[in-house]
Amino acid sequence: MNAWIWGIVGILLTPVVAGLVGGIDRVITAKMQGRMGPPVLQPFYDVMKLFSKQNLVLNRFHHDLVICSLIFTVAAVGLLFAGENLLMCIFALVVGNVFLVLAAYSTNSPYSMLGADRELLQMLAAEPMILLAAVGIYMATGTFDINLIASGTHSAIQYLPGVFFGLIYVLTIKLRKSPFDLSTSHHAHQELVKGLSTEFAGPSLALFEIIHWYETVFVMALIYLFFASRPIVGIVAVLIVYFLEILIDNINARVKWDLMLASAWVITLIFGLGNLMLLFILK
């Protein structure tokens, strides 16, 4: 029963927190670029406006697939907060992502299709590391159960510095920030226009934004799990990591997909797998 309440609280709180974080992100980014930036509540204004716009639905599946994606992503975050199995949460998130790709494929626009191609490549680059992180947490704490991880007495970070670094590296992919914002990005200027989200308009795009909020909170929660035994250290670590991501976003150009895939896998292999093997040998 308790788990249910936690799950629902998580689902309800996520948009609020993620929207605020998004707003602060935009202000800091603007500051870094020498600008003033929008109000902190700007992401909420954007989403509310998008809901009030006309929805240009291209075919029968288009909007429904986005809704499916939302359901699975929300479920992933709900399960995470309910303290269920970590692996299940990650798979729910991946399924949600796949539905988004399907929605993009269902349209006939070349930008959207290429964006979907790239989104799949991004998943190929990022998911191994996220899975390794889950495995690493299992090896460090002896369980996949989030409740037990969170109530454990020691943090996973002391066993898993390499995995943690690898996770930060692929985080730019999940947060859709430079240098790895290949499939779609918050700024317009790129060769695919908006890539994955080119064909979404109005409410569909609003759902897309909300999905992104849930994803952000999910990966941030994953970072937190590394410090689960000390909540305050965990929250500070999450904030530092997020700031680091903004900084990386602003000091890098967008790279090409081959470099992204190669470097993400090399980092995953060396830091992720290397860390796990060391842990396996030493334990």
Partner 1 sequence: MSDILKMFTTVIKSLFKKSTCRQYPFKKPVFFDRTKGHIQIDRERCILCSLCDKRCPTGAINVDRNARTWAINSYKCILCFRCVEVCPVTCLAMQQQYSAPEEIKKSEVVEIPAKAEKAKA
Partner 2 sequence: MAKRTIVPFGPQHPVLPEPIHLDLVLEDEMVVDVLPSVGFIHRGLELLCQKKSFQDMVFVAERICGICSFIHGVGYCQGIEKVMNLDIPKRAQFLRVFWGELSRVHSHLLWLGLAADAIGFESLFMHSWRVREKVLAIFEETTGGRVIFGAAKVGGVRIDISQDKLDQLAIALDEIQKEYEPLAKVFLEDYTVQHRWSEVGYLSKEDAHQLGAVGPTARASGLPQDMRKLRYGAYEDLEVEPIVETAGDCYARCVVRVKEIYQSLDLMRRVIHKIPAGEIETKVTGFPQGEYFSRVEQPRGEVVYYVKGNGTKFLDRFRVRTPTFANIPPLLQMLKGCTLADVPAIVLSIDPCISCTER
Partner 3 sequence: MSIKKSPWIIHYDGSSCNGCDIEVLACLTPLYDIERFGIINVGNPKHADILLITGGVNQQNKTVIKNLYDQMAEPKAVVAIGACACTGHFFAECYNMLGGVDTVIPVDVFVPGCAARPEVIIDGVVKALAVLEKKQQEKVTA
In the complex, the residues that contact partner 3 under the rule CB under 8 A are 26, 30, 33-39, 42, 45-46, 48-49, 52-56, 188-189, 193-194, 198-202, 205
Q: Name the DSSP letter for residue 183.
A: S
Residue 19: C-alpha distances to residues 11, 128, 138, 167 (Å): 13, 28, 31, 23
Q: Distance between CA atoms of 191 and 278, rounded to whole angstroms?
A: 42
Output 27 or 88, the one with its CB closest to partner 2: 27
Residue 28 sits in the site that holds partner 1 (CB under 8 A): yes
Interaction partner, residue 55 (partner 1, partner 3, partner 2, none; CB < 5-8 Å by kind): partner 3
Q: Distance between CA atoms of 236 and 220, rounded to whole angstroms?
A: 11
**Residues 240-259: x where in contact with partner 1 by CB under 8 A, - otherwise, as a string:** -------x--xxx-------
Among 32, 58, 124, 233, binds partner 1 (CB under 8 A): 32
Output 86 or 196, the one with its CB closest to partner 3: 196
Taking the complex as a whole, how short is the minimal distance between the CB of residue 30 and partner 2, in angstroms? Answer: 9
- Find out whether 222 and 130 touch, Cβ atoms under 8 Å: yes
Among 1, 36, 188, 282, binds partner 1 (CB under 8 A): 36
With tokens 């998008």, the residue in question is 50
Taking the complex as a whole, how short is the minimal distance between the CB of residue 31 and partner 3, in angstroms? Answer: 10
Taking the complex as a whole, how short is the minimal distance between the CB of residue 18 and partner 2, in angstroms? Answer: 21
Residue 281 sits in the site that holds partner 1 (CB under 8 A): no
Cβ partners under 8 Å of residue 110, min gap 6: none
Q: Distance between CA atoms of 190 and 195, rounded to whole angstroms?
A: 9
Interaction partner, residue 245 (partner 2, partner 1, partner 3, none; CB < 5-8 Å by kind): none
Tokens at 239, concatenated:
């904030």
Q: What is the CA radius of gyration of the chain?
A: 18
